[in-house]
Amino acid sequence: MNLTANSLRSALLAMLLLMSWAATALGGPLDGRIDRIIARTDLGGASIAIHAVEVQTGRELIAYRADQPMIPASNMKLITSGVALEVLGPDFAFRTEFRIDDGVTPPTLVVVGSGDPALGDPVLLEREEVGLSVDKLFDTIAGVIAQSGARSFGEIVIDDRVFDRTFVHPSWPADQLNRWYCAEVGGLNMLRNVVTVFAEPSQPGGSPITRMVPDAPWISLANRARSDPKGNNTAWVSRPEPNDNMTLFGIVRTRCEIEVAIHNPPIFAGRVIAAELARRGIDIDPQRVRMARPEEQFDGLRTLAVVTTPIADVLERVNTDSHNLYAEALMKRVGHEVSGEPGSWENGAAVTRMIISDKLGAEHAQSTTVSDGSGMSRDNRVQPATLTAWMRAIARDPARWQVFVRSLAVPGKGTLEKRFIDRELSCELAAKSGYLSGVYALSGVLTEPRSGRQVAFSILLNDVPSGTRARNAKPFHEAVVEELDAWLSPQPTGANLGG
The average confidence (pLDDT) of the chain is: 92
- The DSSP element (H or E) to which 63 belongs, if any, is strand 60-64
What is the pTM assigned to this prediction? 0.91
* pLDDT band, residue 211 (cuts 50/70/90): very high
pLDDT value at 331 more than 90: yes
Q: What is the pLDDT of residues 435-458, one digit of tens each?
A: 999 999 999 999 999 999 999 999
Domains of the chain, residue spans:
29-89+314-488, 93-313
pLDDT value at 337 more than 70: yes
In sequence order, the β-bridge partners of residue 249 are 236
- The DSSP element (H or E) to which 319 belongs, if any, is helix 311-319
Distance of CA 201 to the CA centre of its chain: 35
Q: What is the pLDDT of residues 82-96, one digit of tens each?
A: 999 999 999 999 999
Least confident range of 168-172, 254-258, 399-403, 493-497 = 493-497
Query: Residue 309, SS3?
Result: strand
* pLDDT band, residue 128 (cuts 50/70/90): low
Fold of 29-89+314-488: Beta-lactamase (3.40.710)
Q: What is the pLDDT of residues 470-482, one digit of tens each?
A: 999 999 999 999 9
**Number of residues assigned to the chain:** 499
Q: What is the pLDDT of residues 285-321, one digit of tens each?
A: 888 999 999 999 999 999 999 999 999 999 999 999 9
**What pLDDT shows up at residue 24?**
34
Average pLDDT score over residue span 119-130: 82
- Rounded Cα gap, residues 144 and 428, in angstroms: 45
Least confident range of 145-159, 355-369, 381-395 = 145-159
